[in-house]
Amino acid sequence: MRKVDEKLRKKLRKPLGQIVKKISKPGGKLITIGDIASYELIRQGLTPDLVVYDNKVKRKPASTRVKKLLNALKRDTIRLTNPRGAIMEEAWIAIAIGLRKKSRIVVNGEEDLLVIPAVLLAKNGSAVVYGQPGRGMVLIKVTEKKKDIIQKLLDEMEVVL
């Protein structure tokens, strides 16, 4: 398991990509992290290849309409436990499996940091989208350069055995 300390938490509050209101379908896979980002893209007519969510918005239960839309997606479902401020080893496996075909990962705990393995495991040309509270969605276009930046953030995380 990897854990975030307070210094890294401050870094991670800054967007890891471009803040956008709408996106167009990327050339590669479209991966969404978070209930609202996933909901908004589906409402815009985009169907993510991988949807990762926890049925919560700002640590409170997601609205019925958000839950209903996300839970109605016809795809393989992977269930995962991932605590706040951490990335469990199982999350890496779940995301790797989820990227093979249209899937959703329902997280018991918190999904925010799963942006990191999503970017590192996705192929170049893919797009990872997550919510930035009060600002919109963050679009990360997966490239080798972006993977290097994200890998450095992962390397700053504490390894807990």
Neighbours of 29 (CB within 10 A): 19
Domain of residue 29, residue span? 2-159
**Residue from 60, 59, 53, 55 nearest 31 by CA:** 53
User: Beta-strand (E) ranges in 6-126?
Assistant: 18-20, 30-33, 50-53, 56-57, 60-61, 76-82, 86-87, 103-109
pLDDT of 6: 86
SS3 55: coil
**What is the pTM (predicted TM-score) of this model?**
0.95
Percent of the chain predicted with pLDDT > 90 = 86
* Rounded Cα distance, 62 and 55, in Å: 5
SS3 78: strand
Tens of pLDDT along 45-69? Answer: 999 999 999 999 988 999 999 999 9
**pLDDT-derived band of residue 24, with 50, 70 and 90 as boundaries?**
confident
| Structural domains of the chain, count | 1
* Rounded Cα distance, 45 and 9, in Å: 33
pLDDT exceeds cutoff 90 at 155: yes
